[in-house]
Structure 1
């Protein structure tokens, strides 16, 4: 039924200006803005060609799961660059993190590190 649909994902934030700056300036993604007031929206253009829709929500609750994963060739370079840009990595008690906050494991991704956007939504960088 939806096999050929150009589906897209979306998530909410509590501050559109902070979201635009974070995704555009801090992460270096292409961000387009449209609408006004409560109909204001952001479209994040990902390197894969996919778009992600970001919308305001007054009673926003951050996603407690990872909403965007960014595959990288070198996680050390990625987490160092995030740190330079003021991004703090999350540390979860269930995982063993190295000094930089990276989790390395025998299964799944070779290495992963999580961080949040200004609205508290969880994102990650992954090196496979």
Structure 2
């Protein structure tokens, strides 16, 4: 039943004004809808919502991801806007200037792997950006 449904991410925020400013100023995104305690964003391939929550995100795992065609251009633009990317150094998973390459990641997407970066939003949510390696 769920395979016919649309996936929509929900991210908790503690300060809606701060989160709105981050998503606007740093990511260039504006909400398409607003309700008390929530903002809805629509992108080309899906949607996500920010909701006011007393619970904080752990920020220890990817909570939402964007897939792009040119990760280098996206990272360069976001850095200009002040986004700080995470650096990781673990066996088989090391970032170089914020970007890592993961071999064999999701070959069904038509690639041999994926290049990826991660950053935390103003509320501690860990956001990923990926580009299939073709």
Residues of 2 paired with 1:104 and 1:113: CA distance?
9
Are the structure 2 counterparts of residues 58 and 127 from structure 1 closer, same or farther at C-alpha, using a change threshold of 3 Å? same
Please give the TM-score of this superposition, normalised by the length of structure 2: 0.79
1:33 aligns with 2:31: no
Q: Which residue of 2 aligns with 1:43?
A: 40
- TM-fit CA distance, 1:92: 2.2
**Structure 2, unpaired ranges of 5+:** 106-112
- TM-fit CA distance, 1:5: 4.2
- TM-fit CA distance, 1:55: 0.9
Residues of 1 paired with 2:68 and 2:6: CA distance?
25
> Alpha carbon RMSD of aligned pairs, Å?
1.9
- TM-fit CA distance, 1:8: 2.6
Q: 2:9, 2:64 within 8 Å by CA — same for their partners in 1?
A: no
Runs of 4+ in structure 1 over 6 Å off: none
- TM-fit CA distance, 1:4: 4.3
Residues of 2 paired with 1:79 and 1:114: CA distance?
10
Q: Which residue of 1 aligns with 2:130?
A: 126
Q: Which residue of 2 aligns with 1:112?
A: 116
**Structure 1, unpaired ranges of 5+:** none
Residues of 2 paired with 1:5 and 1:112: CA distance?
26
Are the structure 2 counterparts of residues 45 and 30 from structure 1 closer, same or farther at C-alpha, using a change threshold of 3 Å? farther
- Between Structure 1 and Structure 2, which shows a larger proportion of strand residues? 2
Q: Which residue of 1 aligns with 2:24?
A: 24
Residues of 1 paired with 2:94 and 2:6: CA distance?
38
Q: 1:41, 1:56 within 8 Å by CA — same for their partners in 2?
A: yes
Please give the TM-score of this superposition, normalised by the length of structure 1: 0.82
